[in-house]
Every structure is written in structure tokens, then in C-alpha cells.
A and B are shown apart, each in its own frame.
Chain A
Amino acid sequence: MDIFANLALGFGAVLEPSNLMFCFIGCLLGTAVGVLPGIGPLGTIAILLPVTFGFAPEASMIMLAGIYYGAQYGGSTTAILINLPGEATSAVTAIDGYQMARQGRAGAALAIAALGSFFAGCVATLVIALFALPLTSLALSFGPSDYFALMVLGVVASIALAHGSVLKGLVMIVLGLLLGCVGTDVYTGSMRLTLGTLDLADGIPIIAFGSGVYAIAEILRGLEDEKEQERDVLTTRVTGLMPTWADIKESAWPILRGTGLGCILGILPGGGAMLSSFTSYALEKKISRHPERFGHGAIAGVAGPESANNAGAQSSFIPMLTLGIPSNAIMALMIGALMLQGVAPGPNLVNEKPVLFWGVIVSMWIGNLMLVILNLPLVGLWVKLLSVRNHYLFPAIIGFSAIGVYSVGNNPFDLVVMAIFGVIGYGLTKLDCEPAPLLLGFVLGPLLEEYLRRAMLLADGNPLVFFQRPLTAGLLFVAAVTLFAVLFPAIRNRRRVVFAEED
């Protein structure tokens, strides 16, 4: 009964006309930017975050959530229509979705993706509503050392599950943690690593950081090899949006399985949309009676991963809302946004700001509904957006980001930070580094330090505290095992490669 009362509270907040409008604008903007090739949900949020900044916390979170789902859905649209996934989450959708589009079944693929996502969204919303409160009360019993261990586990898991070099991922995380130290120390009030400037007293501005690393660096990458490209946009109109009965029957189980997988994997630290969609694709291929169809337009290969990534995207809100710990870089940005609003995410959020808490949860459902209503009829518009030339687009992105970065603090210095992090971000991609762990580390830094300090203070400086509490020790143990598991096969494989070359 409690759940219904809580959901009613959330509905009350979201159904306010102004918030409904924010949700709508968020979905629309998110899809519009997410459709642009090369810009995934993370980039979209970084670019659009400042737009939401001027509103009340509820409105801005609802809008951000809308942007997030919109961006993700936009990414799937490009994946299906032009085989250009906006980011890794929709990479698997592109495999079979694009094949379906080439066979003239783009409409069915888009519709199944939308319906699967909507179903997954409904279930995930219920799951969050069910588990949020028990998890919150559990979280209140955590000590500082438990939190510390949980974050370490989250960081390790997020590197382990990402692609690319584990070692470089670790370096990015630690660099992010170090950058998070810049600013005034909360405990002593002394200025840390600010290079003597007052402009950094509040730390490195997160929006300038994000825009630099995502917008500037991505634009530069796009300019590396500029040519008069005729994108392989399907010129035929997308027709036949309604999937056939056979399509629906074939997708029903994959959608159910994808939803289940996504709900579980999204909660895991380091999990979220990407892991869910990859796992779902692998699962569907394995248990399918026609695995040979995968890669040639199997609708299950669109239905499963799309449902899974949406469920995963939503359930990754759980650790953020209940523990205040971001499980991936997108949630890290969301936490950044909340903190800019003066709201501290964590187990107390549900008691202190129940309207915000339940409003965000309900807005997920509303956002999904809007996406179904919005995206299917507007597919034509999104396809048009795809044909906008890059050289009209990037100056607009720069202008938009510049205004956004400036609007947060009305301080021109923030733009200098943006330019510097643009250079750093671009340089890092040249050294095969991913910016996502950097961002995650940056947001986690102050939290990690605070819990470390508190744990050590309580233990009177005895580091054994991390081994004496069973929960702390258990979490750290899992983190260590994960780290070894991913580091050592990598070394072995490399050895094997070296040996193979010698032969």
C-alpha cells in the first residue's frame, strides 16, 4: 500500500503541467541531440545539463531523466537506420536492426525497439519503487568503511566491464579522483591544488569539465578526417511502423528476458545500460532456435538488447538515489547536477525530499510513454536531422556548450577550464584512454575521500578497520578478485600473442 501512496506522490509531482512539459522537452531535446551521430547519452547530457540548471531541483531532474532516455532512444534510431550507433549501448542494436532496415523492415525494428523499451521501462519503474525503500533503510545501517568499500567495488567493476585497457582505465579513475581533490578541503578549509587562483576554490567546475572532454574533444575527432560524406541514410521512407503479429510473438520472450536482465545488471555497480544490452544479445543468440539468423536481421536481436538497455538505464538510478553512489559516468553527471542544485543524494534523500525522489521515479515511466508517442510519429524528422552536415552542426554545439558553461557561475574562467579540458580530453583519446572513468572518478573523489577519512577517524587510524567489518571486507574482497580476474587473463592473452608471433 505504501508503494501506491508513494507512487501517487510521484505522479502528483510529475503530472503538474510545468513538470510534464519539462519531461517532454527533455525527451525531445535528448532525442534530437542523441540522434546526431557520434554523440551518445553521456555527451548529450553534458551538453544539455546547463539548460536544466535554472529550474527547481524536481523539474531539472525530471528533465535530465527525459534527456537521458531520449538520448538513448535517439542512439538506437541511428543504429537501426544508418548503422551508426551513437554509443556503445546501441552497438548491438545496430547489428540486426540495420539489417532489418536494409530489408525494408526499419519500421518494424523501430517500433519493436520502442515498445520493448516501454515495457522494460514500466517494469523497471515498479522494481525501483519496490526496492528503493528497503535499500534505503539498508543503506542507513552502512558505516563509512562500508561506503568506501562499495565505491571501490563500483569503480573496479566499471573498469572491468568497460572495453579497453584495464590498466589505463585505472589510471583514468585515479586521475579523476585527484582532479576531484582540487578546491577547498571540507574538513580543514585549506585550499588544495588550486594553483593559487580563487576561481578554483569551489573545485573544477563539473560542467566545464564535461563539456570540454565530451563536446570539444568529440568535435576535434570529427574534424580529423573531414570529407564530403554522403551518409548511408536510407532514402526510402520509413513505412509500416506497425510490427506484424509474427514480429510481436517472436519478440515477446526476448523483451521479457531483456527486461529481467537489465533490471538486475543495472543495479550492479559499474553495470547499467551497456552491460545489459550486450548480455541480452549474447543470451538471445545462445538460446535462439535459429542462431544463424542473428546478424541477418533477427528481430530478437533488436527486441532483447533494446529492452535490456532501457531497463538497465533505469535501474542504475537505484544506487544513485538510495546510496548516493553513481554506478556509471552518466549517473556521476546526474549526481553532479543534483549537487549543483544543493541536493545531497544519499539514503536521506527519500525522507528529506520525497517529492523529488518519487517524482524522478514516476518521471521515468512518463518519459518512456512520451518516447513511444513522440518517436514513432516523428521518425521522419529524426531521419532528416541525420542528414544535417557536420560542419553546420559543430559550431552550434560549441555555442550551446559555451553559453551553458558560462551560465552556471557567470564566470569567464569556466570557459578557460572548458578549453583546457578539451585539449586534455583530445590528448587522452590519442593515448587510447576513455573519458568515462575519468568523469566517474572526478565525481567519486570527494565522496571516497570523505568516507575514508571518517572511517579512519572512527577507527583511530587503524587500517585494519577495512578487514574487520564483514561487509567492508567482503566488498573489498570481491573488488580485489574482480581486479585480478580482469588483469591476469589480459596478461596471459598478451603473452600468448607474443608467443604466437615468435612462432
Chain B
Amino acid sequence: MAIATRQHRPLSRRNVTFAAIFVGFSVAVGIYAYETLKIGTAAEMGAGFFPVMLSIVLGFLSLAVAFTPIPQGAQPLRFAPVKASILIMGSPLIFAASIQSLGLVAAVALTIFFSSFASRFATLRQSLLLSVGFTVFCVAVFHYLLNLPIALWGDLITG
């Protein structure tokens, strides 16, 4: 009976992918930690003891996931549109690239402006309005109200 179950249990592709990614990750981290850090002894653990132990546990747990069937009622796999994904994931990077050179005002405006195009309904006019309005709001809140030490204008502008 047990054998029959095992044969008929379909492996879930999503769970096998999960296991493959996680086992790969834990092996990589485990080796990285083992190579770069001292393991020490059980009584005097080195910096590497806990990370290596965790990556071994993580590896085995992830391996076990491969053999579990997909949960019932799982949502069919759907992803956000490519353009939206790139814009949303990239928007913190836009902020990172511009905050020191251009300053708070330009960084917020650019971040909002570009990220707003992730929506299908964005129009140029709306995005401009949104970014200007929200920038004013943010400067008022963060700069004047909360007194955060972030320069309004960056090195490139003030010279």
C-alpha cells in the first residue's frame, strides 16, 4: 500500500523548483561559511559554527519539500508584467543612484515618476502631477517636520 502511494504521488513542479533553489543556496552558503570562517568546538563555537549548522539543516529541510505534493487550492502561477516588475524593482535603485548626487527633491520625484509607469493606467500628465505633489508632501514631512538630515539638493546641483 505504502509503495503504491509513493508511486502515485505526483511530484509538484513548483516544490521541486523550490527544493532545487534552496538546496543550491544552502550548499553555497554552507561552503562559503565553512571556507571563510572558523568552526571552533561545541564548547567554544567559532563564527562559522552556527551558519554552517543552519545551512545543513536548511539543505535537508528544503530537500524534503521536493517530496511534498502541492497544497490544495494553490493559486495558479501568475507574474506581474515584465515592464512593471523592472520598474518597481528598479525604483529603489533609481533613488539610490540619485540621492547623493541630486538630493532628496530630485530623487523622490524621479523615483515616483518612473515607478508610476508600472501601472497600465499611467499617463504622462498624471505621473508628473503625482510626482510633483508627492515630492512636496515628502519634503514637507521628512525635511521640515521630522528634520531628517538628508540634503534637499545634492552635490551635483549645489556644486
- Given known contacts A223-B80, A430-B77, is B119 in contact with A391 (CB within 8 Å)? yes
Q: B96, A412: Cβ atoms under 8 Å? A: yes
Of the stretches A256-264, A349-357, A449-457, the one at the interface is A449-457
Taken residue by residue from 386 to 420, chain A's Cβ proximity to chain B (1 for < 8 Å, 0 otherwise) reads as 00011110111011111101110010110110110
Q: A432, B61: Cβ atoms under 8 Å? A: no
Taken residue by residue from 73 to 107, chain B's Cβ proximity to chain A (1 for < 8 Å, 0 otherwise) reads as 01001111100110011111101110110001001
Q: Closest Cβ of chain B: how far from A234's Cβ, in Å?
A: 24
Which residue of B5, B43, B79, B150 is within 8 Å of A461 (Cβ)?
A: B43
- Given known contacts A190-B37, A415-B92, is B112 in contact with A398 (CB within 8 Å)? yes
- Given known contacts A51-B146, A168-B65, A395-B115, is B96 in contact with A452 (CB within 8 Å)? no
Q: B29, A406: Cβ atoms under 8 Å? A: no
Is A422 an interface position by the 8 A CB rule? yes
Is B24 an interface position by the 8 A CB rule? no
Q: Closest Cβ of chain B: how far from A192's Cβ, in Å?
A: 5
- Given known contacts A391-B119, A395-B131, is B42 in contact with A498 (CB within 8 Å)? no
Q: B116, A402: Cβ atoms under 8 Å? A: no
Is B11 an interface position by the 8 A CB rule? no
Q: B119, A165: Cβ atoms under 8 Å? A: no
Q: B150, A174: Cβ atoms under 8 Å? A: no
Which positions 37-84 of chain B face chain A at CB distance < 8 Å? 37-38, 41-51, 54-55, 57-58, 61-62, 64-65, 68-72, 74, 77-81, 84
Which residue of B36, B42, B96 is within 8 Å of A415 (Cβ)?
A: B96
Q: State A457–B84 Cα separation when bound (angstroms).
A: 51
Q: B54, A181: Cβ atoms under 8 Å? A: yes
- Given known contacts A54-B147, A394-B115, A498-B9, is B42 in contact with A456 (CB within 8 Å)? yes
Q: A398, B115: Cβ atoms under 8 Å? A: yes
Is A245 an interface position by the 8 A CB rule? no
Taken residue by residue from 427 to 465, chain A's Cβ proximity to chain B (1 for < 8 Å, 0 otherwise) reads as 000111100000000000000010011001101111100
Q: B92, A410: Cβ atoms under 8 Å? A: no
Q: State A501–B43 Cα separation when bound (angstroms).
A: 52
Q: State A449–B49 Cα separation when bound (angstroms).
A: 10
Q: Closest Cβ of chain B: how far from A247's Cβ, in Å?
A: 35
- Given known contacts A192-B51, A406-B99, is B92 in contact with A216 (CB within 8 Å)? yes
Kindly list chain B residues whose C-beta atoms are within 8 Å of the C-beta of A460: 43
Q: Closest Cβ of chain A: how far from B16's Cβ, in Å?
A: 11
Is A103 an interface position by the 8 A CB rule? no
- Given known contacts A193-B32, A410-B150, is B88 in contact with A223 (CB within 8 Å)? yes
Taken residue by residue from 188 to 201, chain A's Cβ proximity to chain B (1 for < 8 Å, 0 otherwise) reads as 10101100000000
Kindly list chain B residues whose C-beta atoms are within 8 Å of the C-beta of A178: 26, 29, 51, 54-55, 58
Q: B38, A190: Cβ atoms under 8 Å? A: yes
Which residue of B45, B134, B138, B147 is within 8 Å of A456 (Cβ)?
A: B45
Is A16 an interface position by the 8 A CB rule? no
Q: B104, A412: Cβ atoms under 8 Å? A: no
Q: State A413–B100 Cα separation when bound (angstroms).
A: 11
Nearest A residue to B139 via CB reads A403
Q: A398, B42: Cβ atoms under 8 Å? A: no
Is A241 an interface position by the 8 A CB rule? no
Kindly list chain B residues whose C-beta atoms are within 8 Å of the C-beta of A190: 37-38, 47
- Given known contacts A390-B119, A413-B96, A422-B88, is B58 in contact with A399 (CB within 8 Å)? no
Q: State A431–B19 Cα separation when bound (angstroms).
A: 10
Is B130 an interface position by the 8 A CB rule? yes
Which positions 103-159 of chain B face chain A at CB distance < 8 Å? 104, 107-108, 111-113, 115-116, 118-122, 126-127, 130-131, 134-135, 138, 142, 146-150
Which residue of B21, B79, B116 is within 8 Å of A395 (Cβ)?
A: B116
Is A494 an interface position by the 8 A CB rule? yes
Nearest B residue to A428 via CB reads B18
* Interface residues on chain B, size class: 35 or more
Q: B61, A174: Cβ atoms under 8 Å? A: yes
Q: Closest Cβ of chain B: how far from A71's Cβ, in Å?
A: 18
Q: Closest Cβ of chain B: how far from A399's Cβ, in Å?
A: 5
Which residue of B14, B55, B80, B93 is within 8 Å of A224 (Cβ)?
A: B80
Q: A494, B69: Cβ atoms under 8 Å? A: yes
Q: State A192–B49 Cα separation when bound (angstroms).
A: 11
Q: Closest Cβ of chain A: how far from B35's Cβ, in Å?
A: 11
Is A250 an interface position by the 8 A CB rule? no
Q: Closest Cβ of chain B: how far from A239's Cβ, in Å?
A: 32
Which residue of B8, B36, B44, B78 is within 8 Å of A502 (Cβ)?
A: B8
Q: A406, B116: Cβ atoms under 8 Å? A: no
Which residue of A51, A406, A433, A457 is within 8 Å of B44 (Cβ)?
A: A457
Which residue of A175, A410, A431, A457 is within 8 Å of B14 (Cβ)?
A: A431
Q: Closest Cβ of chain B: how far from A404's Cβ, in Å?
A: 9
Is A292 an interface position by the 8 A CB rule? no
Q: State A389–B93 Cα separation when bound (angstroms).
A: 25
- Given known contacts A399-B108, A402-B91, A498-B9, is B74 in contact with A221 (CB within 8 Å)? no
Nearest A residue to B2 via CB reads A495
Q: State A295–B88 Cα separation when bound (angstroms).
A: 39
- Given known contacts A188-B38, A193-B32, A399-B111, is B148 in contact with A226 (CB within 8 Å)? no
Q: A461, B95: Cβ atoms under 8 Å? A: no
Q: State A389–B120 Cα separation when bound (angstroms).
A: 12
Which residue of B85, B99, B113, B138 is within 8 Å of A220 (Cβ)?
A: B85
Kindly list chain A residues whose C-beta atoms are within 8 Å of the C-beta of B121: 226, 228, 389, 391
Q: B58, A171: Cβ atoms under 8 Å? A: yes
Q: State A501–B50 Cα separation when bound (angstroms).
A: 43
Q: State A76–B153 Cα separation when bound (angstroms).
A: 41
Q: A192, B47: Cβ atoms under 8 Å? A: yes
Q: List 30 A-B contacts (CB under 8 A).
A: A167-B65, A170-B61, A171-B22, A171-B65, A175-B58, A178-B29, A178-B54, A185-B37, A190-B37, A190-B38, A190-B47, A192-B36, A216-B89, A391-B116, A394-B88, A395-B130, A396-B112, A396-B134, A398-B88, A398-B112, A398-B115, A399-B112, A402-B91, A422-B88, A432-B71, A452-B45, A456-B42, A460-B43, A494-B68, A501-B8
